[in-house]
């Protein structure tokens, strides 16, 4: 979903019930359900918390507590493109800090922010497992290794940023 308004409880209700039903047979289904919710709406809508708590026999505080614990779950949709730049040691050893700076400068935002036009959200990631060919980043689910600032520029240009 793009940067549209947060969906209302009524709109998501039916689809949410389907998602919960699809995971009914799992032990400890909350994380798989939250991943499915985020895949559907691009974030975990606030309006989904109460119905989820209800369906799983949990308190809303418990569900909210889980959503807020994990870095992956967002409470608002990301930009049209999501750039995750690795900030961990193996990438640092290969110029990763320079890539972090280029990404910030080029986009004019900090980690955790979205460009004002909604094109790109920039996030940190601590390791993508590409430690022998860093610096690395993931753009909309696709991995890129041995980045330099030219290649980063080219990737961002593709995003219209």
Partner 1 sequence: MRVYVPKDAAARALGADAVAEALTREAEARGMEITLVRTGSRGMIWLEPLVEVEMDGLRHGWGPADPRDAAAILDGAGPKALGPVEELDWMKRQTRLTFARVGVVDPASLPDYAAHGGLAGLRRALEMTDAQIVAEVRESGLRGRGGAGFPTGLKWETVRTAPGPVKYIVCNADEGDSGTFADRMLMEGDPFCLIEGMAIAGLAVGAEKGFVYIRSEYPDAIAAMESAIAAARAGGMLGVSVLGSGRAFDMEVRVGAGAYVCGEETSLLNSLEGKRGTVRAKPPLPALEGAFGRPTVVNNVISLASVPTILANGAAAYAAQGLGRSRGTIPMQIAGNVARGGLFEAGFGMSLGRIVDDLAGGTASGRPVRAVQVGGPLGAYFGREKFDTPFGYEEFDGQGGLIGHAGIVVFDDSVDMLAQARFAMEFCAVESCGKCTPCRIGAVRGVEVLDRVAAGDPAALPLLADLCETMRDGSLCALGGFTPYPVMSAVTGFPEDFGGAREAAE
Asked if residue 6 binds partner 1 (CB under 8 A), the reply is no
Q: Which secondary structure element, helix H or strand E, spans residue 138, and what is its range?
A: strand 137-139
Asked if residue 53 binds partner 1 (CB under 8 A), the reply is no
Pick the stretch among 3-11, 14-22, 31-39, 112-120 that binds partner 1 (CB under 8 A): 31-39
The phi, psi pair for 28, rounded to 5°, reads: 55, 65
Spatial distance between the Cα atoms of 99 and 148, rounded to a whole number of angstroms = 7
What are the angstrom distances between the C-alpha of 60 and each of 22, 39, 47, 65? 21, 21, 11, 8
Quick note: the x/- pattern for partner 1 over 83-122, rule CB under 8 A, is -----xxxxxxx----------------------------
Binding site for partner 1 (CB under 8 A): 26-32, 34-35, 56, 62, 65-66, 69-73, 88-94, 125-134, 136, 138, 141, 143-146
């Amino acid at each position: 979903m793009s940067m549209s308004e947060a969906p209302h409880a009524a709109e998501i209700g039916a689809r949410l019930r389907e998602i919960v039903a699809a995971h009914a047979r799992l032990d400890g289904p909350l994380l798989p359900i939250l991943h499915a919710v985020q895949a559907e709406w691009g974030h975990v809508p606030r309006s989904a918390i109460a119905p989820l708590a209800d369906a799983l026999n949990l308190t809303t505080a418990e569900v909210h507590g889980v959503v807020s614990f994990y870095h992956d779950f967002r409470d608002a949709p990301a930009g049209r493109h999501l750039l995750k730049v690795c900030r961990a040691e193996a990438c640092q050893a290969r110029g990763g800090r320079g890539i972090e700076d280029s990404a910030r400068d080029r986009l004019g935002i900090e980690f955790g922010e979205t460009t004002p036009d909604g094109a790109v959200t920039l996030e940190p990631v601590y390791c993508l497992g590409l430690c022998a060919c860093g610096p690395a980043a993931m753009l909309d689910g696709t991995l890129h290794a041995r980045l330099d600032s030219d290649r980063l520029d080219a990737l961002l240009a593709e995003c219209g940023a």
